[in-house]
């Protein structure tokens, strides 16, 4: 890990987003077109080609759920339940209600909140099939009031899905789970097939084929953010412990070789200790190769003269996750403007948020915390504006409307309001 002493805040963690090759874009367009034409037949064929399994049905069966519960430790099921309760309780506080306002002249204005009818959650295959991401995507949708929630995920070699994913989904009451992945799953969710009815919004991360397919179908359906590799920034002063900082940095480095782990500290002595700790701890991880590559490519330690400069550096980085491990973390909070999730103090290690505390772990990456927010209940709702004018409010205002319409050269608009006078 490189250590740099800095006096200004000119740093960035922006990484180039993989936008795929020409060939990959073409492949994805072909897959989408084939699914639109051939429906389920195409889904079975692509599953055989890309996931090397021949399925007899796309929908997860009751036997598969039963087997998943048999496979998973009972204690883990209880922990999933407790995490789900925490996540639900946090998101319930986010829910916005419709509102209406009334004026003395009889005008009624308002905003009606309506949940989306149907959403699809993509759960990636392989080691990235995180049960925690099932909770984080499904629970806000349920709190919003979405009636139909569908999960799709590529089947493993045994032709089923990981037990943790199935148990997490079942615990939330989601039973419509299809064993299909990649661009073909996204096409099915957007356009529908004989078995899979289309949805209105598609959530969840995936590989380049999934990301490109989501971009392709955007407009036919809505999509969530395109999440980049995980990021963590630790802001510390000399009071923090090097071994704990190193462990937290590595927690995100193990996600992906493109993840980034950055320390911004006021102490050079601590910076050197953290660097040594990272080197020591990384060698003990089962995912050593990934974590090492990530730390080498995107790990960095910045040392500043004071906390004020350190906070300015953090705002410039606008990280997905920020840990504040200083003598008084709460005192730093007013100065922090840009971060997806802010973890305060030594006991708020980042994985607490990934799994359990309640806030969502789907967060803005790549500096987008400057303008976007964690996944939340609003992402599953939409607003309609309500306008009701009375005769009195109409008579007071119609001439102003007609004048504005004629300023824009829109005569029919002006006449529409004037027609009511006849």
Ligand X SMILES: NC(=O)c1ccc[n+]([C@@H]2O[C@H](COP(=O)([O-])OP(=O)(O)OC[C@H]3O[C@@H](n4cnc5c(N)ncnc54)[C@H](O)[C@@H]3O)[C@@H](O)[C@H]2O)c1
Ligand Y SMILES: N[C@H](CO)Cc1c[nH]c[nH+]1
Residues binding ligand X (CB under 6 A): 27, 46, 50-51, 124-126, 128, 154, 181-183, 205-207, 209-210, 227, 256
Contact 115, 142 (CB under 8 A): no
Q: Which of 34, 47, 133, 266 binds ligand Y (CB under 6 A)?
A: 133
> Binding partner of residue 91 among Zn ion, ligand Y, ligand X, none, CB under 5 to 8 Å per kind?
none
DSSP strand pairing (108-115 vs 381-388): antiparallel
d(CA 391, CA 130): 57
- Tokens 């661009």 correspond to 183
189, 340 Cβ separation under 8 angstroms: no
Strand order in the sheet with 201-203: 177-179, 148-153, 118-122, 201-203, 222-223
Give the nearer residue to ligand X in terms of CB position, either 125 or 140. Answer: 125
E strand or H helix at 34: helix 22-38
Q: Please, what is the minimum distance in Å from the beta carbon of residue 83 to ligand Y? A: 11
Euclidean distance between CA atoms 274 and 369, whole angstroms: 26
Can you tell me the distance from the alpha carbon of 292 to that of 283, in angstroms, rounded to the nearest whole number? 8
Question: 197 vs 293, which CB is nearer to ligand Y?
Answer: 293
The answer to whether 153 contacts ligand Y (rule: CB under 6 A) is: no
Q: Which stretch binds ligand Y (CB under 6 A): 125-133, 155-163, 327-335, 413-421?
A: 125-133
Half-sphere exposure in the Cβ direction for 192 (13 Å, CA): 8
- Select the binding partner of residue 51 from ligand X, Zn ion, ligand Y, none (C-beta < 5 to 8 A, by kind): ligand X
Instruction: Please tell me whether 56 is known to bind a ligand.
Output: no
Whole-angstrom Cα distance, residue 320 to residue 420? 54
**Residue that is written with structure tokens 């910076």 in the block:** 271
Residue 316 or 320 having the CB closest to ligand Y: 320
What percent of the chain is helix, strand and coil (3-state, nearest 5)? Answer: 50, 15, 35
Residue 252 assigned ligand-binding role? yes
Distance separating alpha carbons of residues 66 and 54, to the nearest angstrom: 21
> Does residue 354 interact with Zn ion by CB under 5 A?
yes
65 or 130: CB nearest ligand Y: 130
Asked if 130 touches ligand Y (CB under 6 A), the answer is yes
Give the DSSP per-residue string, 228-284. -S-EEEEEE-TTS-HHHHHHHHHHHHTT-TT-EEEEEES-HHHHHHHHHHHHHHHTT
Confirm or deny that 261 is annotated as ligand binding.
no
If the CB atoms of residues 198 and 259 are measured against Zn ion, the closer one turns out to be: 259
366 touches ligand Y by CB under 6 A: no
Q: What is the DSSP letter of 326?
A: S
User: Interacting stretch for Zn ion, rule CB under 5 A, among 50-58, 132-140, 234-242, 352-360?
Assistant: 352-360
| Cβ proximity of 148 and 176 under 8 Å | yes
The binder of ligand Y chosen from 216, 354, 364, 414 (CB under 6 A): 354
Decide if 279 is catalytic: no
Closest CB to ligand X: residue number = 182
Q: Annotated binding residue at 255?
A: yes
**Angle formed at CA 214 by CA 208 and CA 215, multiple of 5 degrees:** 90
| Cβ-based nearer residue to ligand X, 120 or 205 | 205
Instruction: State the sign of the Cα–Cα–Cα–Cα dihedral 192, 197, 203, 209.
Output: negative
130: annotated binding-site residue? Answer: no
**Could you tell which of Zn ion, ligand X, ligand Y, none binds residue 299, using a CB distance below 5 to 8 A set by kind?**
none
Residue 260 interacts with ligand Y (CB under 6 A): yes or no? no
CB of 197 to Zn ion, least distance (A): 32
User: Of 277 and 354, which has the nearer Cβ to Zn ion?
Assistant: 354
The DSSP code for 222 is E
| Residue 91 falls in the annotated catalytic set | no
Q: Measured between alpha carbons, how far is 93 from 172 in angstroms, rounded to an integer?
A: 19
Minimum CB distance to Zn ion, residue 167 (Å): 19
Catalytic-labelled residue, pool 231, 320, 323, 350: 320
408 is in an annotated binding site: yes
Q: Which of 316, 321, 323, 361 is catalytic?
A: 321
230 near ligand Y, judged by CB under 6 A: yes
Q: Which residues bind Zn ion (CB under 5 A)?
A: 354
Q: Which residues are catalytic?
A: 320-321
Q: Which residues bind ligand Y (CB under 6 A)?
A: 130, 132-133, 230, 320, 354, 361
**Which residues are annotated as part of the binding site?**
122, 184, 207, 230, 252, 255, 321, 354, 408, 413
**Which residues are annotated as part of the binding site for Zn(2+)?**
252, 255, 354, 413
């Amino acid at each position: 890990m490189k250590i740099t002493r800095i006096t200004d805040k000119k740093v960035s963690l922006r990484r180039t987003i993989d936008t795929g090759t020409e060939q990959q874009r073409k492949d994805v367009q072909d897959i989408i077109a084939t699914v639109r034409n051939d429906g389920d037949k195409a889904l079975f064929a692509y599953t055989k080609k890309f996931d090397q399994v021949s399925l007899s049905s796309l929908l997860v069966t009751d036997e598969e759920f039963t087997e998943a519960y048999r496979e998973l430790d009972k204690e883990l099921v209880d922990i999933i339940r407790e995490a789900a309760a925490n996540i639900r309780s946090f998101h319930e506080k986010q829910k916005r209600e419709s509102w209406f306002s009334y004026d003395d002249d009889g005008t009624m204005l308002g905003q009606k909140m309506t949940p989306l009818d149907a959403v699809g959650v993509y759960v990636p295959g392989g080691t990235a099939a995180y049960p925690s991401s099932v909770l984080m995507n499904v629970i806000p949708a349920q709190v919003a009031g979405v009636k139909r929630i569908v999960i799709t995920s590529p089947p493993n070699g045994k032709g089923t899905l990981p037990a943790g994913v199935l148990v997490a989904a079942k615990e939330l009451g989601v039973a419509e789970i299809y064993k299909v992945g990649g661009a073909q799953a996204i096409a099915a969710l957007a356009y529908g097939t004989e078995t899979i009815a289309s949805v209105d919004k598609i959530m969840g991360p995936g590989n380049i084929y999934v990301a490109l397919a989501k971009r392709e179908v955007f407009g036919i359906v809505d999509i969530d953010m395109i999440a980049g590799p995980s990021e963590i920034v630790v802001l510390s002063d000399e009071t923090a412990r090097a071994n704990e900082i190193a462990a937290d940095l590595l927690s995100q480095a193990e996600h992906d070789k493109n993840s980034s782990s950055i320390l911004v500290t006021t102490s050079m002595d601590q910076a050197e200790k953290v660097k040594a700790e990272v080197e020591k701890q990384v060698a003990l991880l089962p995912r050593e190769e990934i974590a090492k590559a990530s730390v080498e490519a995107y790990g960095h330690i910045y040392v500043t003269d004071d906390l004020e400069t350190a906070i300015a550096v953090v705002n410039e980085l606008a990280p997905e996750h920020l840990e504040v491990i200083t003598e008084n973390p709460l005192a730093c909070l007013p100065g922090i403007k840009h971060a997806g999730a802010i973890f305060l103090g030594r006991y708020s290690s980042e994985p607490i948020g990934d799994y359990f505390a309640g806030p969502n772990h789907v967060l803005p990456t790549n500096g987008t915390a400057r303008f976007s927010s964690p996944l939340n209940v609003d992402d599953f709702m939409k607003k309609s504006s309500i306008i009701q004018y009375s005769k009195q409010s109409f008579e007071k205002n119609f001439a102003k409307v007609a004048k504005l319409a004629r300023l824009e050269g829109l005569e029919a608009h002006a006449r529409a309001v004037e027609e009511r006078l006849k």
